[in-house]
Chains A and B, each alone.
Chain A
Amino acid sequence: MFNLFLLQLLNGAQFGILLFLVAAGLTLVFGIMDFINLAHGVLYMVGGYVMAMMMGTTGNFWLSLTLVLPVMLVLGLALEVLVFRRLYDRSHLDQVLATFGLILVLSELVKILWGSAPLSVPMPEALSGSIALAGPMRYPVYRIAVIGVGLAVALALWFVIARTRVGMLLRAGAANRAMVSALGTDINRLFMLVFAAGAMLAGFAGAIVSPILSVDPGMGDSILILTFVVIVIGGVGSVKGAFFAALLVGIVDTLGRMFGPILLKALMDPAAAAQAGRTIAPMLVYILMAAVLFWRPTGLFGRSVAR
């Protein structure tokens, strides 16, 4: 039982790390630019497809992964210049309209280019094994590598945000955009940078997850909503909040699906417990989010001042 728990905890952490990579860019877009971007999940999906395509042409995992980054960066810049830049001053509703449209456009383009059947990406050989974990249990190296890479990215982001000049401007921008602009910083260039970096991180997450999950046109949708949950629990605009909330959501979701039915079995008869477990498990993270917002209406790490 303990081994199972440990295993699921690691799975949860790995899922959480993935959520963090997608959420990090989006929380800054939300927080600093006050921009509702529904199309962020699609960037994650496009990252997966670019990875699958690169693997198909080069056959080399590491080369493909390296190539995904500039491709996503360029895509992010292009989207920013063509669409997002024109919507910063507009209402949230116009932003919803435009980014909902972008979801449709990008998902359909992906279907036209690669078809709607799921694609799979082979795992690199160096990481395809598994290591011993507490007794007879083994854990795949690749998943551990994902956790490691995610933690490294989180550390790098923390360094950039807490210790560099750009990071200082980002924090100032999240607190008061107009003031930063008035003090002589080109806030639009900062936005462009944040958006492109966010697109790159989301695409990177889609790329590294492709050997574990298959790449399909719906993968962006499912992660987008969970990313929103992460951002709102963590507090809009807070990368630190996104990190802790992502781990929390990843672990609660994974453990809930596994242990919810087991715990319920102790309370009611097995058939009812199985049904109730299936019903409650996917709702768990949303209940968590509603509870957090009930007690802290601006999230765990959000500023308590209402916008």
Chain B
Amino acid sequence: MTYMTQTLTEPRAGLAARLKLALAIFALLAVVPPLAHAMGEPFMIIIATRMMVFAIAALSLDLILGHGAMVSFGHAAYLGFGSYAVAILSRAGISDLVLQMVAAVLASALFALVTGAISLRTRGVYFIMITLAFGQMAYFFFVSFSALGGDDGVALAARSTVLGLPLLQGETGLFYVTLGLLIAAFAGLYLLTRSRFGRVLTGTRESALRMQAIGFRPLPYQLTAYVISAAICGVAGVLLANQAVYVSPAYMSWHRSGEMIVMLVLGGVGSLTGAMTGALVTVALEEGLARFSEHWRLGFGLILVLVALLSPGGLSGLLRKFNLLRDDK
């Protein structure tokens, strides 16, 4: 019945080590812009921003996939809702980031509430497939939305403003706003997964039957987590649109959803630090390999296959193997 066979319980020592790792990552990220300017390679800031955007998306997915065992194969839809919220509102003359985020969160949460309520009637493989179906529906909706460029997508006139200030116009400004939101998402999800709500969710992951036996109805908890996760991913979509200054349905294709699962599994499912690291490493790897060869997908695919075959539990599993994350077991 349990969805993930690898053990996901986090012993105290491992938890503290992971939190330290996360803080170290934030500190490292914070010095990227001055470092990049000093090295005369400002494109590093752009890549690092992309890495952090996907880290936020991966964190949101980890709430439902890692902590709730709900394997959503349509999560990229919310990246799409977020970015189209920017495109639609800025076309209507509303270029404020905060308002766009509110719209993105509302749209994502509403879609998640409806589709989540239907999807959660199913289990296992069927849940994976029905979330995929809803993701595809959203994808095809925007593909055929000819007013917004349809399949080709649409370029934005400019990046969003923050309370009237052109804070995001420079790459460095966007970088630090993204970093701030990444830290906020991490902190919020960290507290949420350790709250009573998070405990019930994790309990449901381990055994829905036992949770029911001690008096919890799993569905409201699962659905709430599903909606929260979608809302956070919508915010990541707003940032993605601003980073690329361009919006396209390709953001919400099933390939993207698969890639988000790949990020989580690569980093280690069920650990926020793992999800974040997985996303950072995945995007960095893609960008790095793409500079190396146009056939970078060959190498990237081989890495994924090898990680799956040789290191259950992803990078976290690998670190644990070499005792870098001490488990007191």
- Which residues of A are at the interface with B, using a C-beta cutoff of 8 A? 30, 34, 36, 38, 83, 86-87, 89-98, 100-109, 111-112, 221, 225, 228-229, 231-232, 236, 275, 278-279, 282-283, 286-287, 289-290, 293-294, 297-299, 306-307
Contact = CB atoms under 8 A, between A and B. Distances in A.
A18 B139 CA distance: 24
**Most chain-B Cβ atoms within 10 A of its Cβ — which of A34, A91, A236, A282?**
A91
Contacts of A105: 297-298, 301-302, 305
A101 B130 contact: no
A95 B3 CA distance: 13
Interface string B251-270: 00011001101101110010
A278 B142 CA distance: 11
Interface of B is mostly: helix
A294 B145 CA distance: 27
A91 B3 contact: yes
Interface stretch (B27-35, B118-126, B175-183): B118-126
Given A101-B307, A108-B301, 17 more contacts: A87-B308, A90-B312, A92-B3, A93-B4, A94-B308, A100-B304, A108-B295, A229-B129, A232-B125, A232-B133, A236-B126, A275-B144, A282-B140, A283-B137, A290-B133, A293-B121, A294-B121
Contacts of A112: 295, 298
A92 B307 contact: no
A290 B134 contact: yes
B309 A91 contact: no
Interface in B72-99: none
Contacts of B141: 279, 283
Nearest to A299: B126
Interface residues of B, number: 51
Contact of A221 (B133, B255, B262): B255
Contacts of B134: 286, 290
A27 B295 CA distance: 32
The 7 closest A-B pairs by CB, nearest first: A101-B304, A104-B301, A98-B308, A105-B301, A101-B305, A108-B298, A282-B140
Given A93-B269, A275-B146, A101 B302 contact: yes
Contacts of B261: 93, 96-97, 100
A286 B135 CA distance: 9
A108 B141 CA distance: 29
B297 A90 contact: no
Contacts, number: 154
Contacts of A307: 123-125
Contact of A96 (B121, B262, B297, B298): B262
Interface of A is mostly: helix
A93 B303 CA distance: 16
B125 A236 contact: yes
Contacts of B143: 282
B129 A97 contact: no
Given A92-B71, A93-B261, A275-B146, A290 B130 contact: yes
B62 to A, nearest CB: 12
B300 interface: yes
Contacts of B128: 36, 92
Nearest to B314: A97
A282 B143 CA distance: 10
Given A96-B258, A294-B118, A109 B129 contact: no
A289 B298 contact: no
**Most chain-A Cβ atoms within 10 A of its Cβ — which of B128, B129, B132, B262?**
B129
Contact of A225 (B125, B132, B259, B298): B132
B153 to A, nearest CB: 16
Contacts of A232: 125-126, 129-130, 133
Nearest to B255: A221
Given A105-B301, A282-B144, A286-B133, A293 B126 contact: yes
A97 B307 contact: yes
A83 B302 CA distance: 11
Contacts of A95: 308
B213 to A, nearest CB: 17
B5 interface: yes
B308 A306 contact: no
Contacts of B144: 275, 278-279, 282
Nearest to A89: B5
